[in-house]
Amino acid sequence: MNFLSKIILVLTIIFTSNSFAVDKKDNDHISPIISVFKSQNKNAISTLISYPLKRKSPIPSIKNKAELINRFDEVFDKELIDLIANSDVDKDWRQMGWRGIMFSNGKVWLDSNGKINAINYHTAKEKALGQSLIEKQKQTLHSSISDYKKPILEWKTAKFHIRIDDLGDYNYRYASWSIDKKTNEKPDLVLFNGKMAFEGSGGNHHYSFINGKYIYRCYVSLLGNSESAPGTLDVFRGKEHLLSDDVLEVLSR
């Protein structure tokens, strides 16, 4: 069983053990979603989205209704539209507690207000766009790190500009520059063979990289309050905590 299969298995167990049938309140949120997808009215669908709607890096988030309408075919194809329009409230939708309402094993999520706040489905058009953006992005990087399968995250902290990329098969690479340098310059530090681990069932996770006696760990915080940093870089020497540097700007995630 490969790494992705293990992740899917764990999340499936978590979701299944914490899911509930939808009640009348949930039904009141779900029914309008199904109805509007039956009509295929782009304007009406755009009003049922919680913005910004994040897309897979490096594709930029969709900021508002007008942009959703303009980029509609990137996000929704016939397969997804039909899947939602022909869905059964009791069979295809599940209440996941604080996570919201899940459709079709996580393809779409609704928040507590009945708005679509996540779409984990990617159309062929969006996949092609993502690959095109990756190729353009590679041209902006120093040649020593321009070869990778997909970007994972790009951050700025007070001290560093950080990138993590997947070289293929979940083999993660870390690259960092001092904050005053540009990414077309050679990185100050490059580490390979990073590992990703989840923290609980909320989606928070981290990437760890070993450099001799040192461990570089990038924490990605998806859950937190309005004052929480979206991520943190921590550096350890053995058990000694040398550095904790909060993320000030998320360039991609």
159 pLDDT band (50/70/90 cuts)? Answer: very high
Tell which residue, 204, 154, 203, 205, has the closest CA to residue 182: 154
- For position 115, what pLDDT does the model report? 95
User: Percentage of the chain surpassing pLDDT 70?
Assistant: 88
Share the mean pLDDT of the chain. Answer: 89
- For position 5, what pLDDT does the model report? 42
pLDDT per residue as tens digits for the range 80-107: 999 999 999 999 999 988 889 999 999 9
Calpha distance 68→186 (Å, rounded):
37
- For position 28, what pLDDT does the model report? 86
Q: Is the pLDDT of residue 112 over 70?
A: yes
pTM over 0.85: no
- Delimit the domains of the chain by residue range: 19-126, 140-252
Please state the rounded mean pLDDT for residues 145-155: 95
